[in-house]
Amino acid sequence: MTGKGVKGEEAAGSSGPVDPEAARRRAERRAERITAGATELEHRLADLLRSGLAAAEQAGHGLWEETAARMVDAQAPGLASRVRELGSLPGSGPDWPTRLLEECALLHLLDQGWLHRERLPHALAATVRTRVGLPSTPAGPPTRDHWLVLAQYDASDPKLTTRRIWLHGLASGRTSLVLSYGPAGRAPDLALPVGLVLDAELSAHPGAGRQRASLGERFAPPAPTMSRPPGLTPTEAAARYGEALRDDPWQESVPVTLDDVVPTPEGDTWQLADAHGDTALPLTLGAAGRSALWRLVALSGGAPVKVFGECGHRGFTPLTAWPPGAGEAVRL
Q: pLDDT per residue over 22-59, tens digit each?
A: 888 888 999 999 999 999 999 999 998 888 887 777 77
**Least confident residue range of 60-74, 116-130, 194-208, 251-265:** 60-74
- Provide the CA 109 distance to its chain's centre, in angstroms: 18
Residue 209 confidence (pLDDT): 65
Q: Which fold has domain 234-331?
A: OB fold (Dihydrolipoamide Acetyltransferase, E2P) (2.40.50)
Q: Is the pLDDT of residue 5 over 50?
A: no
Q: Is the pLDDT of residue 16 over 60?
A: no
Q: Residues 261-305: pLDDT tens digits? A: 999 998 889 999 999 999 999 999 876 678 899 999 999 999 999
Contact 299, 305 (CB under 8 A): yes
Q: CB-hemisphere CA count at 13 Å for 290?
A: 3
Q: Residues 214-260: pLDDT tens digits? A: 999 999 999 999 999 999 999 999 999 999 998 899 999 999 999 99
Residue 88 confidence (pLDDT): 86
In the structure, what pLDDT confidence band is assigned to residue 89 with cuts at 50, 70 and 90? confident
Q: What does pLDDT average to over the chain?
A: 88
Q: Is the pLDDT of residue 10 over 60?
A: no
Domain boundaries of the chain, sorted by first residue: 20-132, 143-218, 234-331
Residue 287 confidence (pLDDT): 67
36 vs 208 pLDDT, higher one: 36
Q: How far apart, in whole angstroms, are the C-alpha atoms of residue 186 and residue 189?
A: 9
Integer CA distances (angstroms), 52 to 57, 67, 79, in order: 10, 18, 22
**Least confident residue range of 106-115, 142-151, 285-294, 318-327:** 285-294
Q: Is the pLDDT of residue 190 over 80?
A: yes
